[in-house]
């Protein structure tokens, strides 16, 4: 029933989701892979997505900055599900990059993407997600962070004691929730 307008609806929701609602990205990208072979099950899933969106209209991603540049560090989070796709048994990678400090939490980037391989265990799926996060988001973020914050981290005088934050000015903090992967 909704096949004729499904693409239009999904793209409008995707436009808003990429800016302020990363929780919708996986559902939107999952439905968009069926645009050329739309079924009544896809109608039901799109209806469920729109009902969820209507019920959570006031939810949005926000960030705040209350620290100077030398107190802020980039934090990279990665996660994966195991065999989340019911048709291919492929896992989904989730990545979140933010700048954090004592009074700062500012989101920079989010990614939700189906993995290109089939993993045989949860730690393997998490390892694929972590490698993707570091390669595609972490390394470019560090290059940008060095350019933006480089002048703040000039070499101190020899007699000046450094704090932990000053000792690692270009450190990327990586977070994962699977101890076997970490």
User: Per-residue pLDDT tens for 61-112?
Assistant: 889 999 988 888 899 999 998 887 777 888 989 999 999 999 999 999 888 8
| Residues in CB range of 74: below 8 A, 6 or more apart | 97, 98, 99, 100, 108, 141, 142, 145, 172, 173
Please state the rounded mean pLDDT for residues 17-39.
Answer: 87
User: Per-residue pLDDT tens for 124-161?
Assistant: 999 999 999 999 999 998 888 888 776 555 555 544 55
With H, G, I as helix, E, B as strand and everything else as coil, classify residue 60.
coil
Task: Tell me how far apart the alpha carbons of residues 76 and 108 are, in angstroms, rounded to a whole number.
Answer: 10
pTM, to two decimals:
0.76
The band of 162, judged by pLDDT with boundaries at 50, 70 and 90, is low
């Amino acid at each position: 029933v909704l096949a004729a307008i499904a693409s239009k609806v999904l793209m409008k929701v995707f436009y808003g989701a990429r800016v302020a609602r990363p929780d919708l990205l996986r559902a939107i990208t999952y439905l968009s892979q069926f645009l050329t072979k739309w079924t009544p099950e896809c109608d039901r899933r799109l209806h469920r997505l729109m009902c969820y969106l209507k019920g959570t209209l006031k939810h949005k991603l926000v960030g705040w900055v209350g620290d100077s540049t030398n107190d802020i560090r980039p934090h990279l989070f990665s996660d994966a599900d195991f065999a989340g796709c019911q048709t291919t048994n492929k896992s989904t990678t989730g990545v979140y990059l933010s700048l954090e400090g004592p009074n700062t939490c500012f989101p920079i980037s989010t990614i939700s993407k189906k993995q290109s391989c089939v993993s045989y265990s949860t730690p393997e799926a998490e390892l694929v997600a972590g490698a993707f996060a570091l390669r595609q988001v972490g390394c470019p973020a560090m290059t940008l962070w060095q350019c933006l914050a480089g002048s703040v981290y000039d070499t101190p005088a020899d007699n000046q004691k450094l704090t932990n934050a000053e000792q690692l000015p270009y450190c990327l903090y990586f977070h994962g929730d699977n101890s076997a992967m970490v």
